[in-house]
Amino acid sequence: MLESSHAFSGFSVDDVDAARTFYADTLGLTVTEANGMLTLHLAAEGGERPVLVYPKPNHVPASFTILNFPVDDVAATVGELTGRGVVFERYEGTPMETDAQGVFRKGGPLIAWFTDPAGNVLSVIESAPAGSDEG
């Protein structure tokens, strides 16, 4: 029934203007706005994948990662984003403990978490090199 639907995901924020600035200017994503909502235009095989960002006055940040950005080099990306003012989460004393740069290196792909201005959790995660058996 829905197999041909072009489904998309979305999440809430408490300040659309702050979200637009963060996603467009800080992260460098293509962002459009209509009807008081944002659309993030994310790269995807065969085109793009839209993600809706909508205002919610009683917004509560998600307690889980809402967007993962696969990158070739997590450490380099963390360095670049840190230079743009992004602060990476530190999970000291937990199973997901990160290093001083904010990168989890204790199993699985390298990953680093950060939040948007609304407190939603995002990550950069190292993708497997092309042609590898990983991923």
Q: Where are the domains of the chain?
A: 9-126
Q: Order across the sheet with 65-71: list the strands.
A: 65-71, 121-126, 111-115, 103-104
Question: What does the pLDDT read at residue 71?
Answer: 95
Pairwise CA distance, residues 75 & 23, whole Å: 20
Which segments within the chain are labelled E, that is strand? 9-13, 30-34, 37-44, 47-55, 65-71, 103-104, 111-115, 121-126
Which residue shows structure tokens 């990476």?
88
Question: What does the pLDDT read at residue 135?
Answer: 45
Question: What does the pLDDT read at residue 133?
Answer: 52
What does residue 122 show for φ and ψ, rounded to 5 degrees? -125, 165
Q: Which CATH number fits domain 9-126: 3.10.180.10, 1.10.3660.10, 2.70.150.10, 3.30.420.40?
A: 3.10.180.10
Residue 128 · residue 135 · CB < 8 Å: yes
Q: Return all residues near 25 (Cβ < 8 A) that are at least 6 apart.
A: none
Per-residue pLDDT of the chain (135 residues), as tens digits, is 888 888 889 999 999 999 999 999 999 999 999 999 999 999 888 888 999 999 999 999 988 999 999 999 999 999 999 999 999 998 877 778 888 899 999 888 999 999 999 999 999 999 865 444 544
Buried b / exposed e over 44-70, threshold 16 CB at 10 Å, is eeeeeeebebbbeeebebbeeebbebe
Q: Order across the sheet with 37-44: list the strands.
A: 9-13, 47-55, 37-44, 30-34
